[in-house]
Structure 1
Amino acid sequence: MNSAKPSGRIHFAGYRIGETYCLSPSTAIIAVDQVPNELNQIPGTKPWLMGAGRLGRQLMPFINIARFLHIPRCENSKAAASSAIFVKGDEAIGNVAVVVDELIEFIPAAELTDCDQADFKIPPGLGKSMRRTVTARGRTWALIDLKALISDDKIQNVDLS
């Protein structure tokens, strides 16, 4: 992270997209939950837009991020993407439910250590939102900026035709 250890109060959500293990700060996250069995389908949209669902009283889109970024499923995983990370967007973007392949754990910031990115492979679609690589709990993680991820023009301009 940097030479000063971050506060242990900030936690990072650990999740997997395809074969890539990712971490994002909890400050960008409203909630995490399972994807509802029934989402309101939006006719004529792209296949990565799974539909709309509610978090409390707020209606938001559910986006299968692996499908959106053309990231293949992990060969070891038999489960369908079933966990959603509800991301705080700004006024222009709004809040979005990002559906990931697996929600793994929450890790305190104090446990993260910077590591060399030279040998780390990341799918091209995640490259714009990756800030660095870190290690924690015996694994190398891509540190992902969720707001940058949901700010992609293709997500913001869903073509209904």
Structure 2
Amino acid sequence: MTGIMTDTSSFDYLLEISRRCDVGTTSLPSARDQLAVSWSGVGFLLGEHYCVAAMDDIAEVLTEPASTRLPGVKPWVRGVANVRGRLLPLIDLTVFLGESRTTEQRQRRVLVIEKGDTYIGLIVDDVFGMQHFPVDQYQVDSVFSSEKLAKYAQGAYQQAERRWALFRPSQLINDSDFYTVAA
């Protein structure tokens, strides 16, 4: 009978396949050797400052929606927008921080913050998407050129020549100055 393998030949065949698979392979590095600890966040631009916020702090990123101006408010309150049936207050974060605008309107994005009862949109100059930083690049004692930004930032990540301020939206929404909107 040709074509029918005996139990011994089946076993030998499997051993031959295993041997072929092992030829030319090297052992894999251990997970500990390969694991690079990193932190990820949403990168964005405020004036000339590169910032990053924790992914958990940003509910979504939108293009700047049409909004309705509110009378008698400070210039950094852009108004309210209807986003999927919800009213989203829009705050121009660059203007709030007293920074100069560095981008055109079409580049601006809205970082939506939704924490408890707070639902607010922060207009920023640009968004760079998810950024990844090795945790050993974090600097707690960072000095910021903007005192207002320093109030809402906690440290920074150094990545090549660029420094990314770690922006904390919770510090912003807990600040009483942020809610003083009457002009």
TM-score (norm 1): 0.78
**C-alpha separation in 1, matches of 2:166 and 2:69:** 31
User: Does structure 2 conserve the Cα–Cα contact (< 8 Å) formed by 1:88 and 1:147?
Assistant: no
Residue identity over aligned pairs, in percent, reads 22
* Deviation (angstroms), 1:45: 1.1
User: Does structure 2 conserve the Cα–Cα contact (< 8 Å) formed by 1:129 and 1:149?
Assistant: yes
* Deviation (angstroms), 1:137: 6.1
What CA deviation, in whole Å up to 9, does each residue of 1:8-31 have, x standing for no partner? 6xx301001011100001101111
Gaps of 5+ in 1: none
Partner residue, 1:55: 83
Q: How does 1:73-92 map to 2 (within 5 A)?
A: 73-74=101-102, 77=103, 79-80=104-105, 82-91=108-117
| Segments ≥4 residues shifted beyond 4 Å | 109-112
State yes or no: 1:129 paired with 2:152.
Answer: yes
Q: How does 1:1-161 map to 2 (within 5 A)?
A: 5-6=37-38, 11-36=40-65, 38-74=66-102, 77=103, 79-80=104-105, 82-91=108-117, 94-108=118-132, 113-115=137-139, 117=141, 120-136=143-159, 139-159=162-182
**C-alpha separation in 2, matches of 1:90 and 1:70:** 28
Higher relative contact order (CA 8 A, sep 6+): 1
Given residue 107 of structure 1, which amino acid in structure 2 is its aligned partner? Q
**C-alpha separation in 2, matches of 1:55 and 1:111:** 35
User: Does structure 2 conserve the Cα–Cα contact (< 8 Å) formed by 1:112 and 1:136?
Assistant: no
CA RMSD of aligned residues (A): 2.5
TM-score (norm 2): 0.70
Instruction: State which structure, 1 or 2, has the greater radius of gyration over its C-alpha atoms.
Output: 2
Number of residue-to-residue matches in the alignment: 147
* Deviation (angstroms), 1:115: 3.7
Given residue 45 of structure 1, which amino acid in structure 2 is its aligned partner? V
**C-alpha separation in 1, matches of 2:160 and 2:63:** 24
* Deviation (angstroms), 1:89: 3.1
* Deviation (angstroms), 1:112: 7.0
